[in-house]
A and B are shown apart, each in its own frame.
Chain A
Amino acid sequence: MNRLLELLSENAEFTPSELAAMVGESEEEVVRKIDELKASGIIKGTKTIIDWEKVPDSGVRAIIELKVTPKPETGFDDIAKIVMSYENVENVYLAASSRYDLIAMVKGSTIQEIAEFVSKRLSTLDAVIGTATNFVLTTYKQGGAVFYDDSEEEEQRSLIL
């Protein structure tokens, strides 16, 4: 099962027949397993990995750290739910850190827009004690894909014999 997931996370475009060959199972079996993984919520969906920095006027991204007071009953879940409900919030994590509790990855068309979002929407939430905003300058690697163009990624093996 894990092998199948690893292969799918490497390339979602592998066809069932290719996957079947690689894991040594029948195509039907592979299709059935993928359906199961989808039904059980392990496979959440399929998206294209895009290097937005190469797309003109595609905006900016920031990683926002949030220090939060957890609620007695629901802990961090309630506040996380509020943060993740904003469309411009792409990822939300609960962290084991002494500095902050939640991390939100946010996109916006300008730095000002994100700064405003943080100060007006996130900082003002009751449970939020403090925020720190980290703007992304360059993405080197994301979702397992290397974004940083460099000759390092080119074939370096020599053609001999």
Chain B
Amino acid sequence: MDYTKILNQKIQQLKPSGIRRFFDIANEMDHVISLSIGEPDFTTPWHVRQEGIESLRRGRTWYSPNRGFAELRTQISKYFARRFDVEYNPDDEIVVTVGGSEAIDLCIRSVVDNGDEVLIPQPSFVCYEPMTRMAGGVPVIIKTKSENEFRLTAEELEAAITPKTKLLILPFPNNPTGAVMRREHLEAIAAVVEKHDILVLSDEIYGELTYGRERHVSFASIKNMKERTVVVNGFSKSYAMTGWRLGYAVGPEPIITQMLKLHQYAIMSAPSTAQYAAVEALKHGDSDIERMREEYDIRRRLIVDGFCRMGLKCFEPEGAFYVFPSIEISGMGSEEFCEQLIYSQRVAIVPGTAFGECGEGFARVSYSYSLNHIKEALERIEKFLDEKK
């Protein structure tokens, strides 16, 4: 049977994620010390797990409403009000999803028509481009630059807009670069977005993980942006709940209503156990976020300092749990650098090119690991660089 003729053409043309190849190498070797995983190393706070267990003990094992339990949507609404100063109606402006990724997919498919252009700043998380293609859209890549600390600038955005532009993806705090957009940067973007009347999908899944003097500002809180923005967020990164698979989207009722239809037909409803736990996280989890954030911050300082010392230039990342050092001094390309590093010192990191061609010359290093683990990895990387000199 010739499956290539039967299978959907668009999906056959999708490339598998570039992160995978290095994971496969790492998996086959012993004593690999990895700085490649993109999820918290913390376990879900105990009181949150307990609520999940309690819901099971009480036999609450049924579907939730399609858009998620009302109590959870109410808590999400309260969270947005207290944390980002934006009001969302729990009844029709919030949908609870299976992780942030589902919310991204729902939004793109609900908004994009055949031939619509979707602006995707890169380096960024790997899902936006394939999801856009599957929705019939045309991905238009905007290359963010290291001299701008990988922020999206108004000029870059302006230059990429055409009459066909429908949607801008705003992936900040950014995976893999750790870049954040401060209020003034967001305001500059907002002016362009409003002028050209485009929609924005703001992926703020790392919104609780910012370091330094300013906390994350939600794009929806910028003047006039709420009506044209869908914000994606979730519990995975902020509360260390990746395995529970729970995220959500908040946005204008007409968009959420369409997203809900897709969600209803494809997913039905997000996991109920996870939703009960998430209510507890939003009600009593602020101090957990703070504790983990402080720990990440110490690791971040250690790792940035380590790279700078060994001459790998890296701007100070202010969000997520990644650093994105330039590997230029090694004289190697990203893929080659990461491959040689894993074979010679058994340290696994991810080449910047896995997050877009413009990631060439960089590597993503996760600091979602213990301090001792990071220290050991840094020592091995330094040894690797010394041997290359």
* B285 CB-CB contact with A under 8 Å: no
CB of B85 within 8 Å of the partner chain? no
Task: Answer whether residue B309 sits at the interface, using C-beta atoms and an 8 A cutoff.
Answer: yes
Indicate the size class of the contact surface on chain A: 10 to 19
What residue of chain A has the Cβ atom nearest to residue B22's Cβ? A159
CB of A159 within 8 A of CB of B36, answer yes
Task: Select which of A3, A10, A17, A161 is within 8 A of B372 by beta carbon.
Answer: A10
B311 at interface by CB-CB < 8 Å: no
Note all chain A residues with C-beta closer than 8 A to B252: none
Q: Is A18 an interface residue (CB 8 A)?
A: yes
Contacts of B19 in A (CB 8 A): 161
Query: CB distance A21 to B375 under 8 Å?
Result: no
Check if A21 sits within 8 Å of B41, measured CB to CB: no
Give the residues in chain A near B333, CB-CB below 8 Å. none
Measured between beta carbons, the chain A residues less than 8 angstroms from B37 are 155, 157, 159
Could you say which residues of chain A place their CB within 8 Å of the CB of B371? Answer: 7, 10-11, 14, 22
Please tell me if B26 contacts chain A, counting CB pairs below 8 Å.
yes
Residue pair A22, B41 in contact (C-beta under 8 Å): no
Q: Mark A20-33, 1 if CB is under 8 A from B, else 0.
A: 11111000000000
Task: Type the 1/0 row for B13-34, where 1 means its CB is closer than 8 Å to any CB of A.
Answer: 0000101100100110000001
CA distance A88 to B19 in the complex (A): 54
Closest to B294 in A: A3
Question: What distance in Å separates the Cβ of B207 from its nearest Cβ neighbour in chain A?
Answer: 20
The residue on A at minimum CB distance from B348 is: A159
**Residue in A7, A18, A24 whose CB lies within 8 Å of B306:** A18
Say how far A143's CB is from chain B's closest CB, in angstroms. Answer: 14
Least Cβ–Cβ distance between A151 and chain B, in angstroms: 15
CB of A157 within 8 A of CB of B17, answer no
Q: Would you call A161 and B305 a contact (CB within 8 A)? A: no
* A-contact 0/1 string along B24-60, CB 8 Å cutoff: 0011000000101111010000000000000000000
Q: Among A13, A17, A18, which residue has the most Cβ atoms of chain B within 10 A?
A: A18
Name the contact of B301 in the complex, choosing from A13, A24, A155, A159 (C-beta under 8 A): A24
**In the complex, A13 Cα to B26 Cα: how many Å?**
27
B191 at the interface (CB under 8 A from A): no
A21 touches B302 (CB 8 A): yes
In the assembled complex, B11 has its CB within 8 A of some CB on chain A: no
Which residues on A sit within 8 Å (CB–CB) of B70? none
Q: Which residues of A sit under 8 angstroms from B306, Cβ to Cβ?
A: 18, 21
Task: Tell whether B298 is near chain A: CB-to-CB under 8 Å.
Answer: yes
B126 interface hit (Cβ, 8 Å):
yes
| A161/B17 contact (C-beta < 8 A), A7-B371, A11-B372, A18-B375 known | yes
**Contact between chains at A21 and B36 (CB < 8 Å):** no
Cα A14 to Cα B301 in complex, Å, equals 13
Asked if B304 is an interface residue, CB under 8 A from chain A, the answer is yes
Residue in B closest to A15 when the chains form the complex, CB atoms: B375
Assuming the contacts A11-B375, A22-B302, asked whether A161 and B309 have C-beta atoms less than 8 A apart, the reply is no
Mark out the residues of chain A between 40 and 60 whose CB falls within 8 Å of any chain B CB in the assembled complex: none
CB nearest to B26 among chain A residues? A159
What does the 1/0 interface line of B291-312 toward A look like (CB < 8 Å)? 0000000100110111001000
Interchain CA distance A75-B71 in the complex, whole Å: 58
CA distance A25 to B372 in the complex (A): 20
| Pairwise interchain contact B27-A17, C-beta atoms closer than 8 A | no
Quick one: CB contact mask for A62-85 with B, threshold 8 Å, 1 for yes? 000000000000000000000000
Find out whether the CB atom of A157 lies under 8 angstroms from the CB atom of B39.
yes
With A11-B371, A11-B372, A11-B375 already in contact, the answer to whether A161 and B301 are too (CB < 8 A) is: no
- Bound Cα distance from A133 to B117, whole angstroms: 76
A155 to B368, CA, bound (A): 12
B122 to chain A, nearest CB (A): 15
The residue in chain A whose Cβ has the minimal distance to the Cβ of B24 is: A159
Are the CB atoms of B375 and A161 closer together than 8 Å? Answer: no
Are A18 and B302 touching (Cβ within 8 A)?
yes
Q: Are A22 and B298 in contact (CB under 8 A)?
A: yes
Give the contacts of A75-129 with B (CB-CB under 8 A): none
B74 to chain A, nearest CB (A): 31
- Given known contacts A21-B301, A22-B305, what 15 new A-B pairs fall within 8 Å (CB)? A3-B298, A7-B298, A11-B372, A11-B375, A18-B305, A18-B306, A21-B305, A22-B302, A24-B301, A157-B39, A159-B26, A159-B27, A159-B37, A161-B20, A161-B38
Q: Footprint of A on B, CB under 8 Å? A: 17, 19-20, 23, 26-27, 34, 36-39, 41, 126-127, 298, 301-302, 304-306, 309, 371-372, 375
Interface residues of A (CB under 8 A from B): 3, 7, 10-11, 13-14, 17-18, 20-24, 155, 157, 159, 161
The 3 closest A-B pairs by CB, nearest first: A21-B305, A159-B23, A21-B301
